[in-house]
Structures are given as C-alpha cells and as structure tokens.
Amino acid sequence: MKQVFIYDTTLRDGSQAEGINFSVTDKLLIAQRLDELGVSYIEGGWPGSNPKDIDFFKKIKDVKLKNAKVAAFGSTRRTKTDVAKDNNLRKLLEAETPVVTIFGKSSLFHVFEILRTTKEENLSMIGESVKYLKDNGREVVYDAEHFFDGYKENAEYALSTLEAAANGGADSIVLCDTNGGTLPSEVVEIFKAVQKTVKVPLGIHAHNDSELAVANSLAAVQAGAVQIQGTINGYGERCGNANLCSIIPNLKLKMDISCLPNENLKTLTEVSRFVDELANVAHNKRLPYVGQSAFAHKGGMHVNAVEKNPKSFEHAEPDTVGNIRRVLVSELSGRSNVTMKAQEIGVDLKDDPETTAKVVDKLKELENKGYEFEAAKGSFELLIQKALNKHKKFLNLAGYRVTIEKNEEGQLLSEATVKVRVNDELIHTASEGDGPVAALDRALRKSLEKIYPELKDLKLEDFKVRVLDAKKGTDAKVRVLIESKDKDGDLWGTVGVSENVIEAAWHALIDSIEYKLYKDKEKNK
C-alpha cells in the first residue's frame, strides 16, 4: 500500500486566516490532538515572525508526541546575507525542532519584482539555506513557493530552483500552488515533468482560491506526490488551504492509500470540531465527511431510500470518520458516537444500552440549549459519570455576586463574592480579578482550597465566549468555553450556556473544579 505523509500547517498557515487567532495554549492543545490523529508533521509557526510562536516552540518541547514531528517554518536567507548571520535562519535553529521548512521563490516574476534580486542570487539563497540547515542536523522540507505559476512563466528556471534545493540536501520538496489558480490537469502534467529532473520526494501545498485545493492535492498524489500539506477544516489566507478533513478520508477510503493509522480515522470529525471550537468559530455544517449535514437526510424519497439502504444516498459510512447519520424529520440517536467517546475516557457503554440512551437524551437536551462538547472533555466526562450514578457532588452553590467598578483613574475593578456549602459547612469568600470571570474563579477556588487543597494547582488558562443567536442582540444566549490546567500538565475544557455571560461562566467553572476533583479522586483509587 502506498504511503503519503500528512503535513499539517493549521497552526501556521491556518492561523493566517481572517478571524482565526490561536493562543499558545490553543496551539498546544491542537498539536496534541493532531498527534493523536496520527499526522506525520505539525508545522508550529514561524519563530522569526512573532513572540507567540517562539513561546509555542519552547513549550512543545515538554509535550510527548507519539506520531508527529514538529516543524518550524521560515524563509531562505535574505539577499546578500551570509547564511550563518541570517536572523531568520538563526531563529529557526533556536526553535530546536527536528524539522525545518523553508520557502523560496520559483517564479522569475517574484525574483525580480518582490525580492528585487538576480536569478543567480535567488538560486544561491535556496541552495545555501538548505545546506546550512542540513549541516546543523535538521530534516529540511523545501517549499517551492508559486511553483506552478513560475513553471508556466519559465519552466527551465523554475526547475533550476528545485535542483538548487535538491543539491543543498533537501529531504523533500513541496510544489506550492500559492495563488490557488492551477487546474488538476496542470498539476498532473507539471508533476510528471518535475519527476524527470528531480529525484527528491515531492509534496503538494495547494491553496483554495479556485475551490480546487483538495482536487489538486489528490491529483498530485496520483502523479507521484508522497507528502500533502494542508489544514484542518481548510483554514488559511484568502479562500483557505487544502482541507485535510476531506483529503485524509479520500486517500484512505477512495484511493486505498495509507496516511494515518486506520483506527484513527474515526476521530476525524471530533478533531475537526475541536479545532473550530478553540478557534471560536461556528463549525461549517456542510463540510464533506465531518460536517453535521454531511450525512443528513431530509424528507421524501431520500429518507425512504436511506432507511432501506444507506448506500442509496451516501458515498461512505459516516462512522468511518466519526460522524453520524441524521434523518432530519426524526433524528437518530447517535448512540455509537456516545459509546465511542465514552470508550476514549475508559468507560465501556457497549453493553449498557440504558445508560447510553440516558446520555444520548441528555446530550440532545443540552445541545438544544446551545451546549457543545467537542472541546469540553471535562463537562462530557462528568455527564457520563452522572448517567452512571457515579458522580459525587463536591459542593453546592448558596449564592454569588459579581460587581464591576470603574475608578477615577479609569481602572476597571472586578470583585466576586461566593457562598458555597461543603459537607453542611457554609463558606463565604470574596476575591478580586482583572475581569468578572477571573474574580469569580479566584473567589470560588479560594473558598474551597482549605477543604480541597489540590485546587491550588488549578489554573484557568483561557476562556472563550460565543453568541449563539446574534439576532437576539443582548438577549442572546452565550456559550462559554473554559480551558483549565493542573500541575500534571493535564488540559481540559468545560462549557456553560446561559443568556447571562457570568452565569454561563459559572457553570463552566463549576464543571472545571468538579472535573479536577473527580480526576484526582480516580487517580488516587
């Protein structure tokens, strides 16, 4: 079976999409999920461009990845600069990643108009940069930027840029359709021409400006590419990058090509929605394979046929990618999805249809209110424990109050008072914070730390707010997702929904604390 290596650039190229802004914590969480999915490479960012990416590369060193290699991204050396003195290349090495990916110019238009240099200098920049990184012990991926456009302008020169990278020792060379305007037939033709000259393994990096990024990526594989670069959900500049959530199942299910472990394909839908949740964007229901509507059927002839045999209107089994079939007039239970997620947290519900049905009903009820559990591992696991009647309530709310004051200096001050009851003891505590959620979090934990000292190592890493129905304005429900972390490095999400953002945050905070206490209790059994 042919092997294709998946190179994920969600954290770099994907984060350049309009409206996408990942925190360092988000990037670490996504990297872990991508590794669990089984991708071969995770491009973490450009250490020469911003402090956030530098911080990510420092912290990812402490994360034990099982499948993926981390890559730092940057450019070739600058014009008329010694490679050993180039700041960009220095920062790439300082990132201490096993893989470094650099891009260089393939198009004479870009050489003359953008770099404002000569053909010869551009070739030297490519070859010397690749060799320098190889001499420093890195696996080097060379991205041939604007290659297809450059090849159409001047095929001989475009090929010479690839030869420069190959002579420098590049481990793989990736042909980039940077402007996204190439047709699949052109991709095949040009790939075959390149293979006659370049013997280094080839890859494809396609943008979606002509709605052809996935098609071009698959065409490149058929023409000999062994690496595909893309992003989860197709995030990327302008119209986006090649969508790995379409590419991966097409490779495995349609082309019988290995690209990640077979059993991991069932987690694809969950990964897709997890990344959307951390990006704080609404999931695109109509995404192929992983969208909520991908296997949804509505009324008439279609529903009748699908009930008799799903193959009548489905090109693939939804559970192969972790999705579910839905009949919109009478939605099916989704029990398989629940049992699969329960199994991930060590709970076997396969032989417990009563509990599974209870969980499904509760999920439907909560999702109807606006809850989403894809990025709320903590809340979902608590929901399972409640259905199994194994949940211990660690505290009861007696009341809370949050005040916000602006003083004469223009400073905003938030204070929260919390009353909780633990083992019939009423505890009343107050605390301040930079914002109302931070104040509430501090007051809540302060009131509990004497009884539950393990909460001292619990930190609120991040929280996100999404308005669920913008048309209702200030009366709209909001969903709050909170990310928490403890001293063991465990990260988890919890969720709350309400018309009041403080109340939604409260529910998410309570789940975060209860999950921490439950987790530690299970660990100490």
pLDDT digits (tens, 9 = 90+) for 434-468: 889 889 999 998 999 989 999 998 888 888 998 98
CA distance 443 to 417: 6
Is 227 inside a domain boundary? Answer: yes
520 and 485 share a domain?
A: yes
What token pair was written down for 353? 């249809």
What token pair was written down for 290? 């992983």
Is 298 inside a domain boundary? Answer: no
419 and 479 share a domain?
A: no
pLDDT band at 388 (very low <50, low <70, confident <90, very high): confident
- Lowest mean pLDDT, pick from 104-108, 124-128, 427-431, 466-470: 466-470
What DSSP letter does each residue of 474-524 carry, written as one string?
GGS-EEEEEEEE-TT--EEEEEEEESSHHHHHHHHHHHHHHHHHHHHHHHT
Could you tell me if 102 and 92 are in contact, meaning their C-beta atoms sit under 8 angstroms apart? yes
Instruction: Give the chain's domain count.
Output: 3
Average pLDDT of the residues in 200-215: 98
pLDDT at 326: 73
CA distance 213 to 202: 17
What DSSP letter does each residue of 140-203 carry, written as one string?
EEEEEETHHHHHHH-HHHHHHHHHHHHHHT-SEEEEEETTS---HHHHHHHHHHHHHH--S-EE
pLDDT tens-place string over residues 229-257: 999 999 999 999 999 999 999 999 999 99
Spatial CB neighbours of 515, under 8 Å, sequence gap ≥ 6: 378, 379, 381, 382, 484, 492, 494
Average pLDDT of the residues in 303-320: 86
Percent of the chain, pLDDT > 90? 70
**Domain end (from 279, 304, 320):** 279
Instruction: Tell me what the pLDDT averaged over the chain comes to.
Output: 91
Q: Is the pLDDT of residue 211 over 60?
A: yes
pLDDT tens-place string over residues 5-25: 999 999 999 999 999 999 999
497 and 436 share a domain?
A: no
H or E element, residue 333: none
Residues 116-126: b if buried by 16+ CB within 10 A, e if exposed: ebeeeebbbbb
What token pair was written down for 232? 């989860």
Average pLDDT of the residues in 263-273: 96
**Domain end (from 435, 451, 467):** 451
Is 331 inside a domain boundary? Answer: no
Check: pTM over 0.85? Answer yes or no. no
pLDDT band at 412 (very low <50, low <70, confident <90, very high): confident
265 and 373 share a domain?
A: no
pLDDT at 49: 81
CA distance 512 to 394: 12
pLDDT at 340: 57
pLDDT at 332: 37
pLDDT band at 331 (very low <50, low <70, confident <90, very high): very low
For residue 389, how many C-alpha atoms fall within 13 Å in the half-sphere facing its CB? 2
443 and 467 share a domain?
A: no
pLDDT band at 209 (very low <50, low <70, confident <90, very high): very high
CA distance 422 to 38: 43
37 and 160 share a domain?
A: yes
Query: What distances in angstroms separate CA 14 from CA 22, 40, 145, 240, one per listed residue?
Result: 10, 17, 16, 8
Is 403 inside a domain boundary? Answer: yes
Is 303 inside a domain boundary? Answer: no
Percent of the chain, pLDDT > 70? 96
144 and 187 share a domain?
A: yes
Beta strands 478-485 and 459-467 are antiparallel
CA distance 168 to 127: 5
236 and 359 share a domain?
A: no
**Domain end (from 230, 264, 279):** 279
51 and 95 share a domain?
A: yes
Average pLDDT of the residues in 288-310: 81
> Which CATH number is 72's domain given?
3.20.20.70
> Which CATH number is 470's domain given?
3.30.160.340
Is 302 inside a domain boundary? Answer: no
Q: Is the pLDDT of residue 303 over 70?
A: no
22 and 64 share a domain?
A: yes
H or E element, residue 405: strand 396-406
Beta strands 396-406 and 412-422 are antiparallel
Average pLDDT of the residues in 112-129: 97
Amino acid at 440: L
Average pLDDT of the residues in 43-64: 94
Could you tell me if 166 and 141 are in contact, meaning their C-beta atoms sit under 8 angstroms apart? no
Is 295 inside a domain boundary? Answer: no
The parent domain of residue 148 ranges over: 5-279
Q: Is the pLDDT of residue 96 over 90?
A: yes
Nearest to 148 by CA among 199, 189, 102, 112: 189
Is 251 inside a domain boundary? Answer: yes
104 and 233 share a domain?
A: yes
Amino acid at 353: P
pLDDT at 274: 95
Q: Is the pLDDT of residue 299 over 80?
A: no
pLDDT band at 344 (very low <50, low <70, confident <90, very high): low
Between 308 and 327, residue with greater pLDDT: 308
419 and 407 share a domain?
A: yes
- Lowest mean pLDDT, pick from 73-87, 370-384, 443-457, 505-519: 370-384
> Which CATH number is 406's domain given?
3.30.160.740
